[in-house]
Amino acid sequence: MSNILIVDDIAKNIQLIANVLKEFNYNLFFARNAYEAYDVLEKNTINLILLDVMMPEVDGFSAAKVIKSNDKDKDIPIIFITAKNDDESILKAYEVGGVDYITIPFRNVEFITRVRTHLEIAHLNQKLKDQASAMKELASTDTLTKIPNRLKFNSIFEYQIKISKRYKKSLSLIFFDIDFFKKFNDNYGHSVGDIVLIELSKKVNSCLREADALCRWGGEEFVIILPETTDVTAFETAQKLRECISKMKIDNKYTLTCSFGVSTLKEGDYSHTFLTRADDALYKAKNNGRNRVEVLL
Ligand SMILES: [Mg+2]
């Protein structure tokens, strides 16, 4: 059910509009001036505003400007309802963000049709926005583990490198992967492999700070971005994760270990040189026997 706010300084006008709308399934809210209107908007979710132009103190145009400048309310359609019908007022109404302009006296059928149309457009707009943000979320999230995917990693990584360089802050990376992951899929089936990846992501995330970003690199490989973290702290973090993981028992029966490569951003680094170094450290950990942490500076 839609919530409609009627703003008019004259009670008779509010009554007139409310009479037309009452046959329909709307929740009606009323305000006698701009301040009352702001108050209603603050306390409720309003879907449409019917706004008088001529009001003492703050007129409808000024009120609309205030409403449109508020992030929460800026998308609420505003229909001006007024006896004023000069060109200048009509132009002004659209200029301040109104979607329609209805002059009194109006024909009921036309009035209600315009109200419904604008409610519908606003509803569709909201739906589109929700879908767009869902798509964005989907495009940046790994579907299995629900952590950021490589695409998202790239944008976080580039951003963090910029910040570190500008503010001379340290930045570290941890690359890690599951030792002999193939055996999970080969011995127990892919669904067990999936569970291992999901549970591992959860465990690692629970051990990290809010500012750290765990991302899925692909397959059984993960990467963690650690802002404001030196090589020493990153090494300690990786060691802690390594121990934590080796003590995990997934589904009360499966155990696993991981190998870790650590590196820290240094002078003259590019994103790819930094990334390659952390990846090389991971290879070193693999070659040196797995279930261990290697640092390359
Ligand atoms: Mg008035």
Residue 220 annotated in active site: yes
Beta bridge partners of 28: 4
Q: What is the pLDDT of residue 176?
A: 98
C-alpha 43 – ligand 1 centre gap (Å): 24
Compute, in angstroms, the gap from residue 290 CA to the centroid of ligand 1.
Answer: 78
Q: Of 220, 221, 228, 236, which one is the catalytic site residue?
A: 220
Give distance in angstroms: CA of 35 to centre of ligand 1: 14
What pLDDT score was predicted for residue 137?
A: 87
Q: How far apart are CA 93 and CA 85, in angstroms?
A: 11
Angle between helices 60-68 and 87-95 (to 10 degrees): 20
- Fold exhibited by the domain 2-138: Rossmann fold (3.40.50)
Q: What is the pTM (predicted TM-score) of this model?
A: 0.68
Distance 70 CA to ligand 1 centre (A): 23
Query: Domain extents for the chain?
Result: 2-138, 150-295
Q: Calculate the CA dihedral of residues 116, 118, 120, 124 and round it to 10 degrees.
A: 180
Distance 55 CA to ligand 1 centre (A): 4
Query: How far is residue 176 from each of residues 48, 64, 208, 219, 245, measured CA to CA in Å?
Result: 52, 54, 14, 11, 11
CATH number, domain 150-295, options 3.40.1480.10, 1.10.287.3510, 3.40.50.920, 3.30.70.270? 3.30.70.270
Q: 32 vs 18, 63, 180, CA distance in Å?
A: 14, 12, 72
Which pLDDT score, from 0 to 100, does residue 185 have? 86
Query: If you measure from the C-alpha of residue 37 to the centroid of ligand 1, how many angstroms do you get, rounded to a whole number?
Result: 14
CA dihedral defined by 66, 69, 73, 77, rounded to 10 degrees? Answer: 80
- The contacts of residue 6 (CB under 8 Å, 6+ apart) are 14, 17, 18, 28, 29, 30, 31, 50
| Pairwise CA distance, residues 21 & 33, whole Å | 20
Q: What is the mean pLDDT of each run of 10 residues along the chain (297 residues)?
A: 96 94 94 97 97 96 97 96 94 97 94 96 94 92 96 96 95 97 90 94 95 96 98 97 95 94 96 97 97 97
**CA 8–ligand 1 middle distance (angstroms):** 5
